[in-house]
């Protein structure tokens, strides 16, 4: 499978310099953060993702409309589908997601599904908090999670 890449310069107040986008010919595979400049090999998918992320950072995009790679297990796929339903500016907990997908005792498994998410921002695992509604675990780091939540309050 051929992979395509592109890089978006993030706002100066964001904890990372770049959002690195990887796609196949058909779907976005990952959006991960970096401080390093990477060589770009874009395609239509990475370019559209870059446009939509830029609009998100400028507060002009509420809903992403991108073809996304599916999670690697049926459970993770279900969790990621539920994450996409969390409205901009809202938060929920791992337990609440577990209850919504009829797996009330699987809050930890929901946490693992969030941790496995490689499509940052678009699959908004940053909107999920722990049982006491506090920030915890985020692949991009807690300062990034806090920044994203604060950013989304002001749309």
Taking only the tens place, the pLDDT of each residue in 42-67 is: 999 999 999 999 999 999 999 999 99
Q: In terms of domains, do 87 and 139 share one?
A: yes
Q: Please determine, for residue 99, whether its predicted confidence score (pLDDT) is greater than 90.
A: yes
Q: In terms of domains, do 85 and 148 share one?
A: yes
Q: Please determine, for residue 115, whether its predicted confidence score (pLDDT) is greater than 90.
A: yes
The answer to whether residue 147 sits within a structural domain is yes
Which value, in Å, is the radius of gyration of the alpha carbons in the chain? 15
Q: In terms of domains, do 17 and 79 share one?
A: no
Provide the domain limits for residue 108: 74-153
pLDDT of 68 reads: 98
Mark whether 49 is an active-site residue: no
The residue from 10, 49, 114, 125 that is catalytic is 125
The answer to whether residue 22 sits within a structural domain is yes
Q: In terms of domains, do 78 and 149 share one?
A: yes
Cα–Cα distance for residue pair 95/111, rounded to 1 Å: 9
Q: Please determine, for residue 154, whether its predicted confidence score (pLDDT) is greater than 90.
A: no
Q: In terms of domains, do 139 and 80 share one?
A: yes
pLDDT of 89 reads: 94
Q: In terms of domains, do 49 and 85 share one?
A: no
Cα–Cα distance for residue pair 142/135, rounded to 1 Å: 7
Number of domains in the chain: 2
The answer to whether residue 64 sits within a structural domain is no
């Amino acid at each position: 499978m051929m992979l395509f890449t592109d890089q978006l310069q993030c706002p100066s107040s964001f904890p990372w310099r770049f959002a690195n986008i990887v796609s196949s010919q058909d779907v976005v595979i990952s959006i991960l953060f970096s401080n390093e400049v990477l060589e770009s090999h874009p395609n239509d998918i990475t370019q559209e993702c870059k446009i939509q992320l830029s609009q998100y950072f400028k507060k002009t995009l509420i809903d992403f409309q991108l073809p996304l790679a599916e999670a690697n297990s049926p459970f993770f796929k279900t969790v990621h589908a539920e994450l996409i339903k969390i409205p901009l500016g809202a938060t929920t907990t791992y337990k609440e997601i577990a209850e919504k997908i009829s797996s009330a005792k699987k809050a930890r498994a929901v946490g693992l599904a969030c941790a496995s998410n490689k499509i940052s921002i678009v699959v908004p695992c940053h909107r999920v908090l722990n049982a006491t509604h506090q920030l915890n675990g985020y692949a991009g780091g807690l300062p990034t999670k806090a920044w994203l939540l604060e950013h989304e309050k002001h749309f």
